[in-house]
Amino acid sequence: MNSVIKISNMSYKYPTGKVDVLKNINIEIEKGLLYAVVGPNGGGKTTFCNVLRGFIPHFYRGDLRGEVLVNGKNIVESTLGELSLSVGFVFQNPFIQISGVKETVFEEVAYGLENLGVHPDEIRTRVEAILKLVKIEHLRDKNPFELSGGQRQRVALASIIVMEPDILVIDEPTSQLDPQGTEEVFEIIQIMKEKGKTIILVEHKIELIAEFADRVILLHDGEIVMEGTTQDVLSDEKALSYDVMLPQYAMLGLELKKRGVPLRKIPITEEQAVE
C-alpha cells in the first residue's frame, strides 16, 4: 500500500482532560483515496483531524503517545509550517478560514502564497488556475464577506488548494450550508479526488459519503470501531449500534434481506439500488 499517513498505537489526552479522547488508533491512509470520518458527537473526529494537521501536539500540547507519520515523517519532529505544506486544512466555518485582511476573493486566495514569498507572476498564474478549477472566476473581485455560505466555503477551499498540499483534511465543510452550497463543495471535493489528492473528510451527511467516499472510519468514544470500504461499512448493521445512520437504500436492502429477498449486495446508493 502506498500510504501517506501511518498511525501506530496512538492515544491522546487534552491538557485539561482526565481521560484519553483518542485510544490506541492504528490506521494507514492510502494515497489518493477519500476517507470519510464518521461517528457520534464527542467521538473524537475533530481531535483526530487536529492530530493529522499537527495542531496536536504543536498547538494543543496534552499527552500524545504512539507514532504519527505524515509522508514518512513523525509529526512530533515536524514544525506546523512544514506540516502545512503537505496537509491542507479546511474548517467547518469558512469565516474562520477567511483572513479578513483582504478585500477581494483574488487577494484572499493569493494570501498564503504571498506569505511564502512566491513570485507575483507565479501567484497570478496559480490563483487564476484555481479560481477556474473551483469555478469562482466570476467572484474574483468580490469581497469574501459579501458571498453566500457555499461561495465562501469554495473560497476557503481554493485558498488551501492553491498551496498544493497533497493531503486535505476537511472538517464538516457543509454543516452550515444549504443544499446548493453543499453540492458546490462536493463538486470541488470530487475534482480534488480526480487530481489524486488524499482527502480525510468529517461529514454527517451519510448519503453523500455513500456516493463519494472510498473508505469509512467510524470513531466512537475515541476508538476506531469500524474501518473499511464505504460499501462494507455502510451496509453493515453494526454501524447502527454506534449511532451512525446508514443510507436509506442500505436500510431498505437490509430489511428486504431479512424478509428473505436474495440480494447480491446491499445497495448504498440510488444507482446501486436500481441495478
Residues 176-205 that bind ligand ADP (CB under 6 A): none
> Which of 14, 30, 128, 232 lies at the binding interface for ligand ADP (CB under 6 A)?
14
**Contact status: 47 vs ligand ADP (CB under 6 A):** yes
**Contact status: 39 vs ligand ADP (CB under 6 A):** yes
Residue 11 DSSP SS3: strand
Report, in Å, the least distance between residue 84 CB and ligand ADP: 20
Instruction: For ligand ADP, give the closer residue by CB, 39 or 88.
Output: 39
What is the residue-wise DSSP string for 43-92?
SSHHHHHHHHTTHHHHTS-SEEEEEEEETTEETTTS-HHHHHHHEEEE-S
CA atoms within 13 A on the CB side of 248: 5
**Contact status: 120 vs ligand ADP (CB under 6 A):** no
Report, in Å, the least distance between residue 172 CB and ligand ADP: 8
| Listed ranges 43-51, 69-77, 162-170, 252-260: which one lies at the site for ligand ADP (CB under 6 A) | 43-51
The CA distance from 198 to 194, in Å, is 10
184 DSSP assignment: H
Residues 17-36 that bind ligand ADP (CB under 6 A): 17, 21
**Contact status: 44 vs ligand ADP (CB under 6 A):** yes
Q: What angle do CA 228, 234, 238 make, to 5 degrees?
A: 85
**What pairs with residue 3 in β-bridges?**
30
Residues in contact with ligand ADP by CB under 6 A are 14, 16-17, 21, 39, 41-47
